[in-house]
Amino acid sequence: MNLFDLSLKLNGFPLRQAKIKLDQIQKLEDDAFESYLQKQKKDIVTYHLEHNPFYKQLSQNVDPNHWENLPVLTKKNLQQPLEKRLSKGFTAKNVYVNKTSGSSGDPFIFAKDKFCHAMTWAVIQNRFGWYGLDFNVSKQARFYGIPLDKKGYYKERFKDWLSNRYRFSVFDLSDNSLRLCLERFRETPFDYINGYTSSILQFAKFLNKEGLILKSICPSLKACMVTSEMLFEEDKLIMEASFGIPIINEYGASELDLIAFQNPNNEWLLNNETLFVEILNDENKPAKPNEEGKIVITSLYNKAHPFIRYEIGDLGILSGESSCKKPILKKLIGRTNDMVVLPSGKKAAGLTFYYVTKAVIENDGNVKEFVVDQMSPNTFKIKYESTKDLSQETKQNIVFQLETYLEKGLSIQFERKEKIKRTKSGKLKQFTSLVK
């Protein structure tokens, strides 16, 4: 029985119709696709100008034919009661309602109409199908957070059962816990792994330390999809070596859809069937290919709630090899609110700081995980989880590398922790700026 599809149908999400629509879009030739995209953009803007008082007020005197004049929305624009943001005819009872994780620092409740939410799942199932995976049949090993309250806990476990997946805790990544994970892989014919990058990486490092390859223990494994956190190339290599299967990079947002997904040719394809993704500069003009900019996204099918030119809070680079029919995300840089602002006024993506520090620390072989906090323009605290303190030589090397890549005169503090604290959802927030 197709339990996953059936559960969506019973909840009023027309997945079958959504799959038919997606198939029609994907079969369009280049010119026809470009016409489809322009029409869908205009249609969704016109709809919200006519049916959504919230968006109409934000977009006064705007002509939907002039896309570049439409306002760029931020999460702060949307932080007001949901009922004030819904289009006419929609209520909390006839839409899909959820809450963002708050990893950007600006959590809010959002809504999707039922067809839009069905399109989300149609796209996800399509992409996983690239690797021979079927949500109704393929068994998933899931490395995600889970609510700790009794009601929330059992609700997620029931959803896991419907979705043919087993959930591993990301709140305990000790060797003993990971050893139990390994035993579950010995006993269960999992088809794929899916979850937070940092948690799956710790499992890979554990296997590497034990001299094991997961594919030899669980031969049914086909692929590993990582999401929600940055995937560094060297971490990908560790996972590939420890798991013996392809590592697939996924990028999405709960309020929108699957944004980008790595195809079998190792291209990070942007979702252009249900979304319109822009990379804009500081003046809200299109960034040139291969130039960094902020990621701004339009949901083409959400009639319940306007996500039109919505600044998601991430920075990225569009590949010069992109086309309208085949847009390629060259690189995801990090969050716009996690920028390093240095005493000289120089700015850098927070993950630049993390990336430089990571290379030095991991050479030490002692540190399990670490995070970086910017306390003031010239003061950074590196909190790390390890069995013993970092050596003085390692600390000096980190300071030297940071001054080489960023600037001199920085104050670097080190704090050893028994355990690195994660967010409530179980994610690892790798860089945090406390500078206002």
Beta bridge partners of residue 316, listed in sequence order: 293, 332
Pick the CATH number of 3-335 from 3.10.620.30, 3.40.50.12780, 3.40.50.2000, 1.10.260.40: 3.40.50.12780
DSSP 8-state code for residue 328: B
pTM for the predicted model, two decimal places? 0.82
What does CATH list as the number for 339-433?
3.30.300.30
| DSSP string for 120-166 | HHHHHHHHHHTTT--TTTS-EEEEE----SHHHHHHHHHHHHHTTEE
d(CA 51, CA 146): 37
Angle at the Cα of 270 from the Cα atoms of 122 and 223, rounded to 5 degrees: 65
267 three-state secondary structure: coil
Phi-psi region of 159 (alpha: psi -120 to 50; beta: other; left: phi over 0): alpha
Tell me the domain boundaries of the chain: 3-335, 339-433
pLDDT (tens digit per residue) in 82-112:
999 999 999 989 999 988 755 544 567 899 9
Tell me the pLDDT of the chain (436 aa) as tens digits: 478 888 889 889 999 999 999 999 999 999 999 999 999 999 999 999 999 999 999 988 888 888 999 999 988 888 788 999 999 999 989 999 988 755 544 567 899 999 999 999 999 999 999 999 998 899 999 998 776 667 777 888 888 887 889 998 887 788 888 999 999 999 999 999 999 888 899 899 999 999 999 999 999 999 999 987 788 888 899 999 999 999 999 999 889 999 999 999 999 999 999 999 999 998 999 999 899 999 999 999 999 999 999 999 888 999 999 999 999 999 988 765 566 778 888 777 676 676 677 767 765 567 888 888 899 888 999 999 888 898 898 899 888 888 887 888 999 999 998 888 777 666 777 888 888 7
Instruction: Find the helix packing angle between 197-210 and 233-243, rounded to 10°.
Output: 50
